[in-house]
């Protein structure tokens, strides 16, 4: 849902900036690489030390590159399969850095093995959510379902709550640190539901596609079987008339 509405809004907001970068000679691929590098730096330099506020600030500055590079590609008419592949691949790298940084905090200074495991599950399930759609589409299915928690939802929930939780460690605001564990559990459960939604959708679409092929094959076989029968009947009538 967020991916549908928020992307359209921020794309309009960032369009002038994208046009400026194009005039300066910056390529969409360069923006993709810099954006991913910035997200990784913010997540892996700050999150493992529990500095969630500043880490979120840095990540937020770079995470919108995912919208800027696409807008640049459309404006310049340079959209390509390679650009789409690079963007999708590096999105997975950036997501892994965010949840990996949180997992490192709970494995170390955070001292919470359970939340470390939940963060790792969020990392892994996020990859699977993306894989289910990509794999379904690769075998010719539309995978016509959005799911409860997609990438936009995962990032917004996690980063907003991580940034707010950082107010406790950075500015001494009490009790607000609980928001990050809550966010991790929400993302973990939501990602699991989304995986199940996509698996059910792919199973239904695959069954419909297989049934359609089977029906088409049966009809074709029926036409072939009926064809010689009609020819044979015509030949028999012709033979009978001749005698």
Residue 231 annotated as binding site: no
The reply, when asked if residue 79 is annotated as ligand binding, is no
Please write down the HEC assignment for all residues of the chain. Answer: CHHHHHHHHHHHHHHHHHHHHHHCCCCHHHHHHHHHHHHHHHHHHHHHHCCHHHHHHHHHHHHCHHHHHHHHHHHHCCCCHHHHHHHHHHHHHHHHHHHHHHHHHHHCCCCCHHHHHHHHHHHHHHHHHHHHHHHHHHCCCCCCCCCCCCHHHHHHHHHHHHHHHHHHHHHCCCCHHHHHHHHHHHHHHHHHHHHHHHHHHHHHHHHHHHHHHHHHHHHHHHHHHHHHHHHHHHHHHHHHHHC
Contacts of 182 (CB under 8 A, 6+ apart): 161
Q: Residue 217's pLDDT is what?
A: 65
Query: Does domain 11-210 sit in CATH 3.40.50.1220?
Result: no
Cβ pair 145, 197 in contact under 8 A: yes
For residue 29, say whether it is annotated as part of any ligand binding site. Answer: yes
Vertex 2, ends 50 and 19: CA angle to 5°? 90
Listed residue (29, 92, 36, 89) closest to 63, CA to CA: 36
CA distance linking residue 130 with residue 210, whole number of Å: 24
C-alpha distances in Å from residue 185, one per residue of 85, 115, 122:
30, 9, 8
32 labelled binding-site residue: yes
Residue-level pLDDT at 138: 95
Q: Is 112 annotated as a binding residue?
A: no
What pLDDT is recorded for position 236? Answer: 42
95 is in an annotated binding site: no
In this prediction, residue 65 carries a pLDDT of 86
Instruction: Indicate if 91 belongs to the active site.
Output: yes
At residue 238, the pLDDT reads 43
User: Which structure tokens are listed for 10?
Assistant: 């921020």
80 is in an annotated binding site: yes
Give the pTM.
0.84
CA distances from 135 to 127, 138, 202, 226 (A): 12, 5, 10, 40
Question: Which member of 91, 95, 210, 231 is catalytic?
Answer: 91
Long-range contacts of residues 209-212, Cβ cutoff 8 Å, at least 24 apart: 209/140, 209/141
Grouped pLDDT means (10 residues each) for the chain, 243 residues: 64 87 93 96 97 96 88 85 92 97 97 98 96 95 92 94 95 95 98 97 96 75 57 44 44
């Amino acid at each position: 849902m967020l991916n549908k509405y928020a992307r359209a809004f921020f794309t309009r907001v960032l369009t002038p900036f994208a046009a400026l970068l194009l005039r300066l000679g910056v390529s969409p691929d360069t923006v993709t690489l810099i954006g991913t590098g910035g997200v990784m730096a913010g997540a892996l330099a700050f999150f493992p030390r529990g500095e969630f506020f500043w880490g979120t600030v840095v990540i937020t500055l770079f995470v919108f590159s995912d919208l800027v590079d696409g807008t640049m590609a459309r404006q310049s008419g340079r959209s390509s399969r390679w650009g789409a592949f690079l963007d999708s691949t590096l999105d997975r790298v950036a997501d892994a850095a965010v949840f990996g940084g949180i997992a490192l905090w709970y494995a170390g200074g955070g001292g919470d093995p359970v939340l470390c495991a939940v963060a790792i599950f969020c990392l892994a399930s996020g990859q699977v959510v993306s894989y289910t759609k990509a794999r379904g589409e690769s075998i010719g299915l539309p995978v016509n379902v959005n799911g409860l928690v997609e990438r936009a939802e995962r990032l917004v929930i996690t980063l907003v709550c991580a940034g707010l939780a950082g107010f406790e460690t950075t500015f001494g605001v009490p009790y607000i640190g609980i928001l990050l564990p809550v966010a991790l559990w929400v993302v973990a459960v939501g990602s699991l539901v989304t995986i199940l939604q996509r698996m059910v959708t792919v199973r239904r679409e695959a069954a419909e596609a297989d049934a359609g092929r089977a029906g088409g094959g049966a009809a074709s076989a029926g036409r072939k079987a009926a064809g010689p029968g009609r020819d044979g009947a015509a030949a028999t009538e012709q033979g009978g008339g001749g005698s």
